[in-house]
Amino acid sequence: ALLMYEYIITFNKEVSVIWGRKKTSAIVLFLVIRYSALLVIVVAESISYSYTPLPDHQSHRTDDILRLRCSMYAKVQAALQVAQYLPWAAFSGLRALALSGMNWTYALIVFVLACGPFAVNMVRAVPPRHGEDF
């Protein structure tokens, strides 16, 4: 609700400042960052409320279907949440590039370090192979 409130109260300013300008990579990146959180919430909520109970004669399949839906829900939600780290890392790299006087080395270092949470979450998402502890 707070996110929607923020979008509503700042939409007029966004239209005048962002939508009226020539489309650049910075504007596209801003829009991706701004609306990816909304997309994650909408998709996660739509998946969580998509449960439809089975008729009584098929109730023995309910456990299998619920297990599959929960598994798919968890995978989609995790993928969407982890994917949000990359635009943030790109924004951080662009900001470092601008603030360092177009020093690409600093920008690349900031980008790689900002990709750390993405990398850690991706490693944690991959299940260990048989016999390995993680």
Per residue in 81-117, pLDDT tens?
788 889 999 999 999 999 999 999 999 999 999 999 8
Mean pLDDT in residue range 6-29: 88
> Contact 73/48 with Cβ under 8 angstroms?
yes
Instruction: Please give the Cα distance from 24 to 17 (Å, whole number).
Output: 13
Largest Cα–Cα distance of the chain, in whole Å? Answer: 69
Q: Where does the pLDDT of residue 64 fall: very low under 50, low under 70, confident under 90, or very high at 90 and above?
A: low
The two tokens of residue 131 are: 């016999």
